[in-house]
Amino acid sequence: MACSAVTLSLATIAAVVAVACLAIAFGTDNWYEIRVNRTFIRERLEGNEIALKELEEDMRYFNRDEGLFRICFPDQKPLNVKTYISPVQTECVNIDYYIPDNEISDTFSDTRWARLHMARSVIGLYITAFFLIFLSFFTGVAGCWKRSHGNVVATGLLELLVSLVAAGAMGLWHGVNYFDYQKLQDKMSYFEWPDILKQPGQTKYYHGWSYILAWIGVGTNLISAILFLCGARCLRKEKKIEQAKNMQYLMPVYPDKRQQYGYGYGYPGPYYQYSYGY
């Protein structure tokens, strides 16, 4: 009893932590943080009016945090760029996934399309993961309430599938990042950035706390899956022990033939002697 109770309690706590981490990471924008040394760049561009104007209007010259849905500017924002206030009170623009396709996406190369499909798949996989978490909630509640080995196993397998799907989404996100900075050579990629931004130390890149939370959610989900499967094993073992104990109290019952056939001497006395006149 103690084994299954402790294991399932820990599994439930791990599952709740995993859902919280994945949900926060999915909805926030600090996946990839880009920091630009604007002071140095302004000094280098002194006297070049065209370049200085670009410095104030082109978002590539600004500090920004990139998420799955938005690009946000934590301090200054570029001029002539329409932004809105995000839930965490930063100026942001939406990332365009080109749904539906438009005249811009019609000009994309095959490599750019591959990158776009991967970016869309990241969102799709996360939505799938949340749907599986929703299913695992019902199987988990039923398994713990009824102490059902089958339901707990199903919950563990669903949690394992969630961790695999979320890990796949993280892998695709890294693939998108690789395409942006290593593979693509169009005007929307790192290849076309101004040379001054590519100089060592002028642009720095960091993985933000949203990215870290996402990996924590994947790992915690995997731990939750393992604990649920261990809890199911404990449940089965405890049920076998309980059945073995109950068998000790079952006494064999044999039919009484004397009562079945009506023999009088099957009943206790008293017995009487009769005289027939001899």
Tell me the average pLDDT of the chain: 86
Helices (H) and strands (E) counted in the chain, each on its own, are 8, 6
Distance CA 236, CA 251 (A): 25
Is the per-residue pLDDT at 11 higher than 60?
Answer: yes
pLDDT for the residue 239: 73
- Domain edges within the chain: 2-29+101-240
Grouping H, G, I as helix, E, B as strand and the rest as coil, residue 41 is helix
Return all residues near 127 (Cβ < 8 A) that are at least 6 apart: none
Start-to-end CA span in the chain (Å): 77
pLDDT tens column, 95-133: 999 988 888 888 899 999 999 999 999 999 999 999 999
The 10s digit of each residue's pLDDT in 135-177 is: 999 998 887 777 777 888 999 999 999 999 999 999 999 999 9
Look at the block and give the residue holding tokens 């023999």.
263
Tokens 């009824």, residue located: 146
Fold of the CATH domain 2-29+101-240 = Butyryl-CoA Dehydrogenase, subunit A; domain 3 (1.20.140)
Are the CB atoms for 65 and 29 separated by under 8 Å?
Answer: yes
User: Peptide bond before 270: cis, by omega within 30 degrees of 0?
Assistant: yes
Stronger pLDDT, 259 or 227, i.e. the higher one = 227
Q: In angstroms, rounded to a whole number, what is the distance separating the alpha carbons of residues 103 and 69?
A: 21
